[in-house]
Amino acid sequence: MQQFEIYSPLDMHLHLRDEDMLKLVAPKTSNTFAGALVMPNLVPPVTTKEALLSYKQRIKEACNDDKFEPFMTLFFKNDYTYEFLNDIKDDIIALKLYPAGITTNSENGVSSMDIEVLRPTLEILSELNIPLCVHGETNGFVMDREKEFMPIYESLAIAFPNLKIIMEHITTKDAVELMNKHNNLYATVTLHHLLITLDDVAGGALKPHLFCKPIAKRYEDRSALLNAALNAHPKLMFGSDSAPHPKHKKECCGCAAGVFTSPIALQVLTELFHRYGKLDNLNAFVSLNAQKIYNFKAIDKKITLVKQEFIVPEIYEYKNENVVPMYAGESIAWSIKEIK
Active site residues: 241
Beta strands in 54-93 (DSSP E): 69-75
Cα–Cα distance list, 220 to 176, 298, 304, 325 (Å): 12, 34, 33, 26
Tell me if residue 85 falls in helix, strand or coil: helix
What is the Cα–Cα distance from 1 to 307, expressed in whole angstroms?
8
Instruction: Choose among 295, 315, 306: nearest CA to 1.
Output: 306
Instruction: Choose among 125, 104, 129, 124: nearest CA to 15.
Output: 104
Buried b vs exposed e over 196-226: b needs ≥16 C-beta within 10 Å? bbbeebeeeeeebbbbbbbbbbeeebbebbb
**CA 137, 73, 176: angle at the middle one, nearest 5?**
40
Q: What is the CA radius of gyration of the chain?
A: 19
Cα–Cα distance list, 28 to 5, 17, 36 (Å): 19, 13, 12
Amino acid at 84: F
DSSP 174: H
What is the Cα–Cα distance from 120 to 238, expressed in whole angstroms?
30
CB 74 within 8 Å of CB 40:
yes
